[in-house]
Amino acid sequence: MSSNRPQIKDDELYRLLREGKVDDFNARRANGENSDLTCADFRSVDLTGINADGLDLSHCYFRMSNLRGIDFSNTRLEGASIHGAQISGTFFPTALDANEILLSLEHGTRMRYKQNT
């Protein structure tokens, strides 16, 4: 049975982010390194400056995180929760409705993408 519960991952690139070494994370990604960040626990982590282009951050937990100024426009965030996060200047995917973002920010709900009709 799979779980979408937030996880502290045993992964070197994930640890860089948890330790606030966003520049090192970005440099290693630019050199071709990848990491499975789905379902990761980023509670209270400062992710300012992360290059989130193409990342799959689905089902991640961003409670009280600093997400200011991040461009998530090409990032998968389905099922992620941003309760209490700092999101000033953050650019979200167009598939995420503003109400989904607001509900997640204020109540911790998991964000759902718009269904194509």
Question: Considering the domain boundaries, does residue 106 fall inside one?
Answer: yes
Positive or negative, the CA dihedral 64, 38, 51, 116 is negative
1 pLDDT above the threshold of 80: no
pLDDT of residue 117: 46
Domain that holds residue 70: 1-111
**Cα-based distances in Å from 49 to 28, 53, 85, 109:** 14, 12, 15, 25
Radius of gyration of the chain, Cα coordinates, nearest whole angstrom: 13
For residues 13 and 25, the answer to whether their CB atoms sit within 8 Å is yes
4 pLDDT above the threshold of 90: no
Q: How many domains are contained in the chain?
A: 1
Question: Considering the domain boundaries, does residue 43 fall inside one?
Answer: yes
Question: Considering the domain boundaries, does residue 117 fall inside one?
Answer: no
